[in-house]
Structure 1
Amino acid sequence: MKKPRLDTSDPIELDGRTLEGGGQLLRNALCLSALTGIPIEIHHIRGARSSGGGLKAQHLACVNWLAYACSARVEGAKKGSTTLVFEPGKGAEAACIRPSPAFKKVTVDGEAIYECRLDIGTAGSTGLALQAILPFILFSDLPSAIPVRLSLTGGTNVSGSPSYEYITGVLLPTLHSIGFPQIEAKLKKRGWSQGGSSIGEFTLKIPPRSSSVLPAFQLRPPDSGEKPSKPVHLQATFIAPASCHDHLSKVLLPAIQYHFGESFSQDSGSLDIKCEGSLHEKRMYLILIATMPLKPPTASHPSSSSSRDTYKLGRDWLYERKIRSHERSATEMAEAVTNALASEVESGAYVDEHMRDQLVIFQALAQGTSSVYAGTDEDGELREPSLHARTAEWVTKQLLRVNFDATNECEGVGFGTSDEDNAGDQVPENAVAEERLEEKMEKLNVG
């Protein structure tokens, strides 16, 4: 097993200009620091951004939430800051050992839950903020087997970030397929970056897990040389002024049938097109999600024990160009999104480009070797990881000493404490915590 470096005296220094040079590095580093107790110091935060870099509201909300969650000492947590020191409190590498102050136990409608919330305060992306705090929640072993209800306020449909629809239609099903319980989502209000910024809100209800350890998972075909599968179902969601809904349906159907076959139709049940009014002339968003069939495993390529029957691929577009005609823009969106999804499907990928970088942290924390197949390009070569994926891999290597090979396999550190580790005679609560912490630190190769 690859083991992370954990030196609580000297923080690991990270250059925020590395690779993608944006928020990806910050979010992954903060989450891993809060989980493992490894102190970090980041310089030149978002230094590759033409906007000047530094902490924005979304990033600052993640810093403050995780700092509270692991009782961290923080320096530089202010808007525009380009340097940040984040030192989790003693025992914070035990996010899965002791209750975090971020979780408040309450009773709602007669049901006991742990409640927590993150408020960005602007239309900053909730989808990106979720990348920093959701793994922390999923790997936290709370003392009672009750759900967590996470509320987030900010932007739900924001440029350059996962939308609420992508979260519910692709991210959450993918997390379920790799071994996490099915997470329920409820949208209260949309928040947009287009047509004037607005703040929205949604909640996630996260069921308890029997163990904080995530077993290794395989998102890959039994034989990468096989012909890519075809979707078994397509789901389109179009959020735009009502005047162009009918037009979108008319232009989307032939685009879908051109790429995926004439069998796709709303009458056959293989295609669903949902239209929703955006209530603003400048707000147009389209997402197309393919439900793909998993191929049967073989003896040489067994499936993960947590595999389901299908997996999801998605592509979307929040329209940011000048709108001269809603119908013309709808046509442009239908063609571009369908083409992009067809490319994902034809590559044979088991994850789309945007999901690949979000799974890096889970591969690094899982127990055993996890593999994520990202498909092949037009020349039959494995598709190169995006800058976001490479950045996420770099961060996990710095903090956890894990490596990703050319086929996107990673031997994770096995973060967490299994139920078997906790078995034995009953001893005082403090002694249990100390013993579990000692065992966990040994697993993490504490020097």
Structure 2
Amino acid sequence: MNYLIIDGAQGEGGGQVLRTALTLSMLTKQAIEVVNIRAKRKKPGLLRQHLTCVLAAQQICDAETAGVELGSNHIRFAPKQIKAGDYHFAIGTAGSTTLVCQTVLLALATAKQPSTITFEGGTHNGMSPSLCFFEHCYLPALAKMGVYCELTVAKYGFYPAGGGKWQLTIYPCETLKPFTHFAQPTKDAKKAIKVLVNKLPGHVAKREISTVKQYLDWAGAETTITRVESIGAGNSLQLQITSDTHNSIFEVIGQHGIAAQKVALKAVKQVTQFTQSAAAVEEYLADQLLLPLALAGKGEFKTSEPSLHSLTNAEVIKTLFHVEITFTQLDDNLWQVSLTDT
């Protein structure tokens, strides 16, 4: 069998190389051999979350694999036909369930029937897209391109306890639609302050909200405090701006020993940097848009300086898929990202 070699040490050298390679391998039916997996991380090789990504991908397409075990830095993955179905993927730690989901979501969207997946593990860990970002920012962006999903949450899983449980139904999408108009939010765009808390005093959320309103001109913002079910204590502060085309979410996960005011000020800084630029898409959504827009064959948006994560993701996509991705600097911290079919 002809395996395409993917070097996991390229660019940022993290888990995104593996996840993107798995998704495109399933969609193109190209067998891959991923070497030097997560070579630039303190603990290289497959950790529990990355192992779950490979096993999930293997299950939905009956892939032939080799080297798939904890700590492995080298795997082979030869996909077969993608199968719709009911799946259950449990990480067993506070590792990110959203990253596991992103590995298989676009592949399952090409199946002829809906699929339902139950995930167990972490939902909010501060190192990856949270479930709130996934639900209120990423999934609505996918819907603009024709990929429709329904998400329900049974329990949240804050780091380090994990223990989250949620379910996603993915509906068939014959062809992703190109999307080129991501509008920059206007000054009077709808704004919201949302706080999730569990096993923490009520004043934590109130102090976060008051700090945000103190430093941003958000007196009229919708505010909600939600006490959620989770096995461990947790706190998530989300500042949301809604433009004509999409949602931008700026989220900070509270940590033990970090004051509520500091959590809020981190989120305020993210919003301020975004609103002072001419960007339409914030950094984290920009990272996530590359793959679906590449599959759609065309896409375009303005964002801040691309992260190494985005640049690495673009190189992996171009290795496995017929698309050109360009990053053009327009101003000090404004870039145009363009994707075109080749």
Give me the TM-score of the superposition, normalised by structure 2. 0.89
Which is richer in strand?
2
- In the alignment, structure 2 segments of 5+ residues that lack a partner are 329-335
3-state SS in 1 of match to 2:323: coil
Partner Cα distance (2:105, 2:217) in 1: 34
Partner Cα distance (2:301, 2:87) in 1: 31
Partner Cα distance (1:280, 1:88) in 2: 37
3-state SS in 1 of match to 2:305: coil
Q: In the alignment, which residue of structure 1 is the partner of 2:305? A: 384
Contact 2:182 2:246 in 1 (8 A): no
3-state SS in 2 of match to 1:116: strand
Q: In the alignment, which residue of structure 1 is the partner of 2:14? A: 22
Which has the higher mean CA deviation after the structures are superposed, 231-240 or 35-44?
Answer: 231-240
Q: In the alignment, which residue of structure 2 is the partner of 1:355? A: 285
Q: Cα offset for 1:228?
A: 5.2
Q: Do structure 1's residue 121 and structure 2's residue 92 form an aligned pair?
A: yes
Deviations 1:1-49 (A, max 9, x none): xxxxxxxx42211111111111111000001001111111111100000
Contact 2:152 2:167 in 1 (8 A): yes
Contact 1:158 1:193 in 2 (8 A): yes
Contact 2:158 2:232 in 1 (8 A): no
Q: Cα offset for 1:119?
A: 1.9
Q: Do structure 1's residue 186 and structure 2's residue 115 form an aligned pair?
A: no
Q: In the alignment, which residue of structure 2 is the partner of 1:271? A: 222
Partner Cα distance (1:279, 1:404) in 2: 40
Aligned AA for 2:155? K
3-state SS in 2 of match to 1:284: strand
239 and 215 in structure 1: CA distance in 2 versus 1, 3 angstrom threshold: same
3-state SS in 2 of match to 1:165: helix
3-state SS in 2 of match to 1:213: coil
Aligned AA for 1:71? D
Q: Do structure 1's residue 217 and structure 2's residue 211 form an aligned pair?
A: no
Match of 1:232 among 177, 186, 190: 190
Q: Cα offset for 1:201?
A: 0.6
Q: Cα offset for 1:273?
A: 2.3
Q: Cα offset for 1:246?
A: 3.4
Aligned AA for 1:370? G
Q: Do structure 1's residue 11 and structure 2's residue 20 form an aligned pair?
A: no
Of the two, which has the highest radius of gyration?
1
Give me the TM-score of the superposition, normalised by structure 1. 0.69
3-state SS in 2 of match to 1:234: strand
Match of 1:36 among 20, 24, 28: 28
Contact 1:240 1:285 in 2 (8 A): no
> RCO higher in 1 or 2 (8 Å CA, sep ≥ 6)?
1
Aligned AA for 2:253? L
Q: In the alignment, which residue of structure 2 is the partner of 1:370? A: 299
3-state SS in 2 of match to 1:350: coil
Deviations 1:38-68 (A, max 9, x none): 11111110000022x1011111111112122
Q: Cα offset for 1:150?
A: 1.8
Q: Cα offset for 1:240?
A: 4.6
278 and 58 in structure 1: CA distance in 2 versus 1, 3 angstrom threshold: same
Root mean square deviation, CA, Å: 2.4
Q: In the alignment, which residue of structure 1 is the partner of 2:324? A: 403
- In the alignment, structure 1 segments of 5+ residues that lack a partner are 1-8, 105-114, 295-309, 324-328, 375-382, 414-447
Partner Cα distance (2:227, 2:275) in 1: 26
